[in-house]
Structure 1
Amino acid sequence: MNTDFVNLTTENLATEHLCCIIRSKKAHQGIEAKRQWLSDRLNEGHVFRKLNAKATVFIEYAPLETAWVPVIGDNYYYLYCLWVAGSDKGKGYGKSLMEYCLADAKEKGKSGVCMLGAKKQKSWLSDQTFAKKFGFEVVDTTDNGYELLALSFDGTTPKFAPNAKKQKIESKELTIYYDMQCPYIYQKMEIIKQYCEMYCIPASLIQVDSLQKAKELPCVFNNWGVFYKGYFETVNLLDITYLERILKK
């Protein structure tokens, strides 16, 4: 196993690749959107650690107080994403990255680490079965099957913000809340915009562009949240097939 890892900093952010979208061969505006988002987050204690190779092997986490999610708690880390893809699976990279995060949390005197999960694994969320092997436990739930998992070092636990459990909004049209934390979001938003314009589908595409907006969202959120007919649908990023399935409801 290659043990050469690198953490993104304000000094190397412009030159280091962002692992999750490394397979894209065309110019990708989501990459620069992600870099811009990270440029402000890194000074807040946000961590993006990756294998120093052309690979999709990385972990991303941040202090819960400054994490753009409607989760509240004191002195925790929030784990946005842990991803090992392709031929690098099964080599121990996921274990190494998780152990780094947990050791970092303990060294910083954190109370623990938490992450978003679900009773049924969601495509765009980190593997909660893997996290549970390290001792993560469900500490809060929503009525529609989402879970907050946490590994507590001191017995305290975080929780979903009360507004995150509403799962309802007044608008009945397709509504998507999103931020630029994930490089795939820019591309997905362009596809959805074009589709909705082509078929005259009313849609509200709302960019979450501040910490306050993220903490006040009416649904669970990792970087994306979809509503239709006033009800929350998913945190999964949408392709056209998934979007059409929602619109048929």
Structure 2
Amino acid sequence: MDMDFVNLTTENLASEHLCCIIRSKKSHPGIDAKKQWLSERLKEGHVFRKLNAKATVFIEYAPLETAWVPIIGENYYYLYCLWVTGSYKGEGYGEMLMEYCLADAKEKGKSGVCMLGAKKQKSWLSDQSFAKRFGFEVVDTTENEYELLALSFDGTTPKFAESAKKRNIENKELTIYYDMQCPFVFQTIEMVKQYCEIQEVPVSIIQVDTLQKAKELPCVLNNWAVFYKGNFETVNLLDVNYLKRILKK
């Protein structure tokens, strides 16, 4: 089945579509930003593997040491995303993508693979019940119910950075940390800016643009995190209604 999939490389990145957002050849600012981000990450061993079709069927993972998340560990892969949607669900593609990642990790002598989860499944996080079928287990937690899942090959385990467990910041206004790993982030940032400008809501929007910043974040982050009144709110992307609910607190 390998011929049904393609891995993004620095050579084909410009011409291949990103199946997070299926688009025609027309430029999309979120996709352009993600491709720019990927152009640097691919050199670090980042893997983006997708079905060779116009479909949301892909896996994305990277060496934990260079993954833009506040998770600490040695010789692990961090699994950012694994998605299969629409008519492609139930055809075994998710299993093939996960098996590819695990086989890649073993071939490269990795200690295991880890991913972000939660006690209650949250949107924009890969399906943790699916991962647990492959042997992933909870190896660390935060007080606000986020979990670090890992499949260890050698008994070692990664952990959340201590900063990720803080759950609060000094700034009391609406504060959003983000990076450009997700192409949906760009349009969400624009929505938040527009809404806050019209409603005269103070907002701090902080781009996480270096690996060091990502590793030292005051919260779990899978490319997006929201604080309000100094308290951590969510890693979920916002729509207007969700934003309104947060601002009513």
TM-score (norm 2): 0.98
Q: Which segments of structure 1 move beyond 3 Å, counting only runs of 4 or more?
A: 23-27
Distance in 2 (alpha carbons) for counterparts of 1:95 and 1:241: 35
SS in 2 for 1:20: coil
Q: Equivalent residue for 1:90? A: 90
The answer for unaligned runs of 5 or more in structure 1 is: none
Indicate conservation of the 8 Å contact 2:17/2:23, yes or no.
Answer: no
The answer for unaligned runs of 5 or more in structure 2 is: none
SS in 2 for 1:15: coil
SS in 1 for 2:242: helix
Q: Equivalent residue for 1:55? A: 55
Q: Equivalent residue for 1:201? A: 201
SS in 2 for 1:60: strand
1:234 is the counterpart of 2:228: no
SS in 1 for 2:168: coil
Query: Could you give the per-residue CA deviations for residues 4-31 of structure 1, whole angstroms, max 9, x where no partner exists?
Result: 1000000000000000100589642000
Q: Which amino acid aligns with 2:178?
A: Y
Q: Which amino acid aligns with 1:118?
A: A
Query: Could you give the per-residue CA deviations for residues 178-203 of structure 1, whole angstroms, max 9, x where no partner exists?
Result: 00000000010000000000000000
Q: Which amino acid aligns with 1:204?
A: S
Q: Equivalent residue for 1:38? A: 38
| Alignment RMSD | 1.3
How far the C-alpha of 1:206 sits from its partner, in A, is 0.2
1:8 is the counterpart of 2:8: yes
Q: Equivalent residue for 1:225? A: 225
Distance in 1 (alpha carbons) for counterparts of 2:224 and 2:2: 33
SS in 2 for 1:134: coil
Distance in 2 (alpha carbons) for counterparts of 1:216 and 1:52: 36
Matches within 5 A, 1:104-143: 104-143=104-143
Query: Could you give the per-residue CA deviations for residues 78-118 of structure 1, whole angstroms, max 9, x where no partner exists?
Result: 00000001110110000000000000000000000000000
Q: Which amino acid aligns with 2:146?
A: Y
Q: Equivalent residue for 2:162? A: 162
TM-score (norm 1): 0.98
Matches within 5 A, 1:179-194: 179-194=179-194
Indicate conservation of the 8 Å contact 2:174/2:229, yes or no.
Answer: yes
Q: Equivalent residue for 1:75? A: 75
Distance in 2 (alpha carbons) for counterparts of 1:130 and 1:75: 23
Q: Which amino acid aligns with 1:93?
A: Y
Pick closer, same or farther for the CA change 1:120–1:23 going to 2, 3 Å. farther
The 10-residue stretch of structure 1 (17-26 or 145-154) with the greater mean CA deviation from structure 2: 17-26
Q: Which amino acid aligns with 1:109?
A: G
